[in-house]
Amino acid sequence: MSEPFGTLSDGTAVHRWTLERAGTRVEVLTYGGIVRSVQVPDREGRTADVVLGFAGLDGYLAHPGPYFGALAGRYANRIAGARFPLDGAVHTLEPNDGPNSLHGGARGFARRVWAAEPAGRHGVRLHRVSPHGEEGFPGRVEVSATYSLDAAGALRIAYEAVTDAPTVLNLTNHSYFNLAGSGQAGGHHLRLAASRFTPVDADLIPTGVLQDVTGSRFDFRASRQVGSGYDHNFVLDKGVTGTPEEVAELHDPVSGRTLTVATTEPGLQLYTADHLTAPFAPGGGIALETQHFPDSPNRPRFPSTVLRPGEVFRSETVYGFSVG
């Protein structure tokens, strides 16, 4: 189901698509590919929205910085110095995070209106063309993101893209999960299938080291309370895979809701949102951003994010919901 959700200042209409299946109800906006709402029941059968979002378009326009529920790209996460080398040329991007590029620049994919069409009975396909030079990135990129609910009520997001010139690409969804439906999320319990993480400098740029989590606060290989103070990429043990494999489990002991995350991606950014401001409180949600590593275009040892003509970029992440 599609319905109007507001209009931008230039007159562009924004629509909301609603998907419902097997007890899960999801709302997706054509503005920014935003997951506005995910409603699932708790152990008592009471339904609540488990992602942070706004009732109207004005909320997203007034609070763009946290990327609530948005599709981040062309390059999700940070590129150091807002520049990177590719095939002997250095490409300069628009800095929007101090000296660095974050989530594709000042607008990126998160502040664009996407075209939309149904994808089967329980899905919507968003698509757009990112022109050559958009925010400094080379190549004309045709990109799509298909949001769908499977028979178990899991939310699947499948990305595809092609380019007419060599470029870099890294896509993710930036939803903040709060399985309680309100209050703080730091009391949730998290398990990550990651034996290493990428330490960062003061600007949150990876140092290039892949550090063992053993004996540190970054060890989530056994489920434990999340707490706060995280904005770090975890190196998933499985690496890049052709089909999604489960890598994370987030559980709220109070409501009984559990979120599982399966992905084809090699990394997961854990962000505990310690700096959220009104209308949400610090720590009000937890982002689990499946992606390639931050600053990969400047780190040849990291998994490559280069996309070339003739290749097809594919990535898929599945968010499953259950109670216990």
Average pLDDT (192-211) is 98
Closest CA to 231 of 187, 275, 169: 275
Q: How many structural domains is the chain composed of?
A: 1
Question: 176 among the known binding-site residues?
Answer: yes
CATH number at residue 10: 2.70.98.10
Report residue 135: phi and psi, to 5°.
55, 20
pLDDT given at position 303: 98
Residue 46 confidence class, pLDDT cut points 50, 70, 90: very high
d(CA 272, CA 240): 24
CB 233 within 8 A of CB 269: yes
Q: Is 231 annotated as a binding residue?
A: yes
pTM reported for the whole predicted model = 0.97
At position 158, the amino acid (one-letter code) is A
Burial label, 195 (beta-carbon count in 10 A; 0-12, 13-18, 19+): middle
Dihedral (CA of 21, 150, 159, 319) sign: positive
Domain residues for 183?
2-323
Q: What is the pLDDT of residue 35?
A: 98
Does residue 166 have a cis peptide bond before it, meaning omega lies within 30 degrees of 0?
Answer: no
Instruction: Please state, in angstroms and rounded to a whole number, the distance separating the CA atoms of residues 63 and 80.
Output: 24
Active site residue 174: yes
The catalytic residue among 27, 249, 289, 316 is 289
Positive or negative, the Cα torsion across 212, 215, 218, 224? positive
CB-CB contact of 128 with 104 (8 Å): no
Q: Is 127 a catalytic residue?
A: no
**Interval 83-119: pLDDT, tens:** 999 999 999 999 999 999 999 999 999 999 999 999 9
pLDDT band for 41, please (50, 70, 90 cuts). Answer: very high
Is 296 assigned a ligand-binding role in the annotation?
no
Give the model's pLDDT for residue 232: 98
Catalytic residue among 91, 174, 232, 292: 174
Tens-place pLDDT, residues 253-304:
999 999 999 999 999 999 999 999 999 999 999 999 999 999 999 999 999 9
The residues near 206 (Cβ < 8 Å, ≥ 6 apart) are 198, 199, 200, 233, 293, 294, 295, 299, 302
Instruction: In whole angstroms, give the CA distance from residue 26 to residue 39.
Output: 6
Angle at CA of residue 166, ends 161 and 169, nearest 5° = 45
**Of residues 226, 223, 224, the one with CA closest to residue 185:** 226
pLDDT digits (tens, 9 = 90+) for 3-33: 999 999 999 999 999 999 999 999 999 999 9
Nearest to 174 by CA among 260, 109, 124: 109
Share of the chain above pLDDT 70, in %: 100
Q: What is the pLDDT of residue 40?
A: 98
125 is in an annotated binding site: no
Mean model confidence pLDDT for the chain: 98
